[in-house]
Amino acid sequence: MKRTVFAGLFLTTALLASPVFAADDLCAANIQTIKDAQVSTNANLDADAKKQLMKAEHEATAAQSAGDSKKCIADTTKTISELKLGGSGSDGGATK
C-alpha cells in the first residue's frame, strides 16, 4: 500500500512540475534561436536590427536568470516573430 501511495505522489509531483521544465526549455531554446539568427544573418542586418537582437537576447537572459520564464518566453517569442515577419536574411531583413 505504501508503495502505491509513494508512486502516486511521485507521479503527481512529476506531472505538476513538468510545465516548469518545459517553460525553461522553451526559454533557452528561444534564446538560442535569437543567438543563431544573429550569427546567420549578421552580414545582412543593419546596425539597428543588430542592436535590437542583442538587447532582446540580453533581456531574455536576464529574465531567465531571475527565474521569470514567462517574461523570457514572451520577449523571445515576440523577437522571433519579428525576425520571421521581417523577411529572410538574404534580403537584408527588409519587409516584404
First vs last Cα of the chain: how many Å apart? 64
Shortest CA distance to 76 belongs to which of 52, 56, 47?
56
- Any idea where the domains of the chain sit in the sequence? 20-91
8-55 residue pLDDT tens: 555 555 545 445 555 568 899 999 998 888 887 666 777 888 888 899
> Model pTM greater than 0.75?
no
